[in-house]
Amino acid sequence: MRLLLPSLFALAGLTACQETAAPLVTPTGPTVVAASDIEQGRYLIAIGSCNDCHTPGFAQSGGATPEGERLTGNPVGYAGPWGVTYASNLRLSVAGMSEDAFVAMLATRTASPPMPWPAVSAMSESDKRAVYRYIRSLGAAGTAAPAALPPGVKATTPVEVMTPEMPDAV
């Protein structure tokens, strides 16, 4: 008992001195729970299929693109009635903005398809911050994606045509 009590005090003192990561924000609704904010962001990027558009060749490779090459934007455009849009280089985007600005942008932006802005804006603030921190952890890389084109302007890059068509009558 004589050794147990001092050992417990020492353990309590060491535990009190350990630094713990500050929570992203206090969740007020549903949020993803993970071992760290980086893991939380990595998971959200994966299940949100962000790499499908923002990582060149990701979908075509069945997701085999190395993590260090992901989220660098895509030179293949998405063409539809809105014109042509390109998936931005998220790694350059977060390198040039604060976490608060990124969270505000995700909450309020309404850009052209195929980006699912309603789903992104519905994410919890904690999840938005985790996405920022994950992307930021990858570091800036790559070049900016081409600028969007208005309707009627022909793209000089490859495009995926996203105009719905009715099937022929059977």
Q: Are 40 and 137 in contact (CB under 8 A)?
A: no
* 76, two tokens: 């293949």
pLDDT value at position 32? 82
Strands 77-80 and 83-85: antiparallel
Handedness of CA 14, 19, 24, 26 (dihedral sign): positive
* E-state strands within 66-148: 77-80, 83-85
| Contact in structure between 111 and 46 (CB atoms under 8 Å) | no
Neighbours of 95 (CB within 10 A): 14
CB 152 within 8 A of CB 77: no
Quote the pTM value: 0.79
Report the DSSP beta bridge partners of residue 86. Answer: none
**pLDDT 10s per residue in the chain (170 long)?**
444 444 433 444 433 443 344 455 566 677 888 889 999 999 999 999 999 999 999 999 999 999 999 999 999 999 999 999 999 999 999 999 999 999 999 999 988 899 999 999 999 999 999 999 999 999 999 999 999 999 999 999 999 999 888 888 66
| Nearest alpha-carbon partner for 158 in 78, 87, 99, 80 | 78
**Per-residue pLDDT, 33:** 86
Q: Report the 10 Å Cβ neighbour count for 127.
A: 26
pLDDT of residue 26: 61
- Which two tokens mark 153? 């302007």
